[in-house]
């Protein structure tokens, strides 16, 4: 599984399937437990955010800088460490001027890479961080009433895969009300993990 995962990451780094490759310095395939030795006993949590920001683009790593620190704080609340989970984005390349990825870019990157990563890792739970990841993975599954403000802190099952929904760390950093909600969400996540 390790080799399969590494070769997928190599392919992602060379990908030119959607226009976002033009604005990237380094693609960000993802990082975490599955870059190391895999133990079947470890809990398989798969976190998915939005798109690489400027610092992530420079270093080729997900969730570094301030939003990464914020995510680490949240992980602590859930009782898990970053080294024990896998973290990636809905798209792997930095969009120009930090704009949101388009629906088409999300679809291409998901079908080419994200679905494969999920298939290889077979996570027990996918944690959706924010609206973009929600759109990428659960668009059409959740009704109009279940936008992120209503659906955060809940688990949705689709094709036997469980998804836990919460906000994006960048939103939690900016808005105290969202941070409060995220803290509650990650406490719920801890119960699920245990």
Point out which residues bind ligand SF4 (CB under 6 A): 12, 15-18, 20-21, 27, 91-93, 105, 108-109, 112-113
Which residue, 18 or 48, has its beta carbon nearer to ligand SF4?
Answer: 18
Which residue, 118 or 182, has its beta carbon nearer to ligand SF4?
Answer: 118
Which residue, 21 or 192, has its beta carbon nearer to ligand SF4?
Answer: 21
Q: How far is the CB of 137 from ligand SF4 (least distance, A)?
A: 15
Q: How far is the CB of 29 from ligand SF4 (least distance, A)?
A: 8
Sheet with 125-129, strands from edge to edge, namely 31-32, 86-89, 45-49, 125-129, 161-166, 155-158
Six-digit token pair at 55? 């610092």
Q: How far is the CB of 93 from ligand SF4 (least distance, A)?
A: 3
Strand 161-166 to 125-129 pairing: parallel
Q: How far is the CB of 47 from ligand SF4 (least distance, A)?
A: 17
Nearest to 118 by CA among 163, 75, 56: 163
Which residue, 20 or 80, has its beta carbon nearer to ligand SF4?
Answer: 20
First CA to last CA across the chain, in angstroms? Answer: 26
Q: How far is the CB of 101 from ligand SF4 (least distance, A)?
A: 7
Six-digit token pair at 136? 């990428």
What whole-number distance in Å separates Cα of residue 144 and Cα of residue 154? Answer: 15
What whole-number distance in Å separates Cα of residue 104 and Cα of residue 107? Answer: 5
Which residue, 63 or 186, has its beta carbon nearer to ligand SF4?
Answer: 63
């Amino acid at each position: 599984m390790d080799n399969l995962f590494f070769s997928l990451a190599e392919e992602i780094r060379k990908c030119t399937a959607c226009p976002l490759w033009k604005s990237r310095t380094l693609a960000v395939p993802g990082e975490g437990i599955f870059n190391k030795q895999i133990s079947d006993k470890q809990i398989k949590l798969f976190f998915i955010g939005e798109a690489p920001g400027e610092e992530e683009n420079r270093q080729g790593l997900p969730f570094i800088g301030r939003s990464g620190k914020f995510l680490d704080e949240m992980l602590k609340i859930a009782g898990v460490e970053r080294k024990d989970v896998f973290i990636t984005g809905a798209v792997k390349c930095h969009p120009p001027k930090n704009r949101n990825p388009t629906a088409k870019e999300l679809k291409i990157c998901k079908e080419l890479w994200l679905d494969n990563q999920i298939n290889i890792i077979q996570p027990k739970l996918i944690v959706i961080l924010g609206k973009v990841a929600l759109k990428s993975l659960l668009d059409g599954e959740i009704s109009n009433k279940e936008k992120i403000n209503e659906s955060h802190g809940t688990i949705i099952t689709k094709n036997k895969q469980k998804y836990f929904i919460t906000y994006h760390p960048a939103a939690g950093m900016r808005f105290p009300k969202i941070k409060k909600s995220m803290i509650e969400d990650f406490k719920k996540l801890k119960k699920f993990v245990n």
